Amino acid sequence: MNIIVLVKQVPDTAEVKINRETNTLIRDGVPSIINPFDMYAIEEALRLREKHGGKVTAVTMGPPQAAEALKQAVAMGVDDAVLLSDRAFAGADTWATSYALAAGIRKIGTFDLVIAGKQAIDGDTAQVGPETADMLDIPFVAYIRKIEQVEGKKMVAERLMDEGYDVVETTLPALITVVKEINEPRLPSLKGKMKAKNLTVTAWNAKDINADDARIGLKGSPTQVVRIFPPAPRGNREMLSGSIDEQVGTVAKNLKGQSLI
């Protein structure tokens, strides 16, 4: 089974803070990590390979530093890694990112399954997976929490929905996105770390993947960011005092006053 995993290097948003005086993000010392959802994608790909044989290739689009994320994936056990990097990719929105990823995947060759995390924690759009699937003209199934069966050109999996889950059958090749519930990602192995250390990541630019200049980067992006600003601060908070019953009483009175209870 040939599997492609889509990976994104993101700033650890848990560490990003806003400077309220200047309304800017404080990113000093904020580490770059593999998008947490992509860790589940990598793990699931490795488990499928262990069960069905084959090869796992991790792909990312990003600046040269993003090769670090690919090396981490290799340390976990991924066989091969491809970095799509070109200044011309800069400023890509989800459409233009998906376009480049689809072109990169086509160059890699035949595959049975593409796995991505449900969304990236920096952008939270959850759009690159389904848009890439559309551009590759393969079926897409979101929010997979369990792969029940893979047989020949068919896969059965559980898709987490707002009110429960669906059991979905899809033909392969397909692109799926996975949620946290699916597995527990492994730690890198010593062997994997050695392999990652000596690995030269395959790097392709826009020309290598035959990308249309008009469809990549900022130029190929239908959306534009026009303004960035900090969220409105929450209103005043009230720290209550007194006995537990008194505090609960105060809360109850206030909530009732606002018709919340």
Partner 1 sequence: MSISINPDKCTGCETCVTACPFAAIEMRDGKAYITEACTVCGACVDACEFQAIDRTEEAAKPAVDLSAYQGVWVFAEQHKGDIASVSLELLGEGRKLADKRKAKLSAVFIGSGIRDKAAELIAHGADIVYVADDPALKDFNDDSYAAVLTTLAKQHKPEIILAGATAIGRSFFPKVASTLYTGLTADCTMLDIDAATGHLHQTRPAFGGNIMATIVTPNHRPQMATVRHKVMKPAARNGSRTGDIIDVTFKQAGTVRTRVVKTVEELTETVNICEADIIVAGGRGLGSAKNFAMLEELAKVLGGAVAATRGAVDEGWIAYSHQVGQTGKTVCPKLYIAAGISGAIQHVAGMSSADVIVAINKDPDAPIFNVATYGIVGDVNEVIPAMIKKFREIRG
Q: Interaction with partner 1 in 59-88: which residues (CB under 8 A)?
A: 63, 86-87
Strands (E), 45-180: 55-61, 80-84, 113-117, 140-151, 154-161, 164-171, 174-178
Q: Which of residues 100-119 bind partner 1 (CB under 8 A)?
A: none
**Interface residue with partner 1, options 93, 105, 111, 185 (CB under 8 A):** 93
- Please tell me whether residue 130 binds partner 1 under the rule CB under 8 A: yes
What CA dihedral angle connects 4, 138, 95 and 63, to 10 degrees? Answer: 10
Cβ atoms of residues 47 and 86 within 8 Å: no
- Please tell me whether residue 208 binds partner 1 under the rule CB under 8 A: no
From residue 218, give the alpha-carbon distance in Å to each of 21, 33, 171, 215, 225: 30, 24, 34, 9, 10
Q: Which of residues 154-193 bind partner 1 (CB under 8 A)?
A: 156, 160-171, 174, 179-181
Cβ atoms of residues 129 and 136 within 8 Å: no
- Please tell me whether residue 207 binds partner 1 under the rule CB under 8 A: no
- Please tell me whether residue 204 binds partner 1 under the rule CB under 8 A: no
- Side-chain-side CA neighbours of 88 within 13 Å: the count stands at 17
Q: Which stretch in 41-49, 74-82, 200-208, 241-249 sits in contact with partner 1 by CB under 8 A?
A: 241-249
**CA–CA gap between residue 254 and residue 261 (Å, rounded):** 9
Cβ atoms of residues 107 and 211 within 8 Å: no
Q: How far is the CB of 173 from partner 1 (least distance, A)?
A: 10
Q: Which stretch in 76-84, 185-193, 200-208, 218-226 sits in contact with partner 1 by CB under 8 A?
A: 218-226
Q: Which stretch in 44-52, 91-99, 108-116, 198-206 sits in contact with partner 1 by CB under 8 A?
A: 91-99
**Interface residue with partner 1, options 31, 110, 190, 227 (CB under 8 A):** 227
**CA–CA gap between residue 102 and residue 134 (Å, rounded):** 9
Q: How far is the CB of 57 from partner 1 (least distance, A)?
A: 22
Q: How far is the CB of 193 from partner 1 (least distance, A)?
A: 25
Q: Which is nearer to partner 1, 11 or 188 (CB)?
A: 11
Q: Which of residues 11-40 bind partner 1 (CB under 8 A)?
A: 11, 13-14, 16-19, 22, 24-28, 30, 36-37
Cβ atoms of residues 212 and 93 within 8 Å: no
Cβ atoms of residues 82 and 59 within 8 Å: yes
Q: Which stretch in 41-49, 50-58, 193-201, 253-261 sits in contact with partner 1 by CB under 8 A?
A: 253-261
Size of the site for partner 1 (CB under 8 A): 94
Q: How far is the CB of 50 from partner 1 (least distance, A)?
A: 24
Cβ atoms of residues 136 and 106 within 8 Å: yes
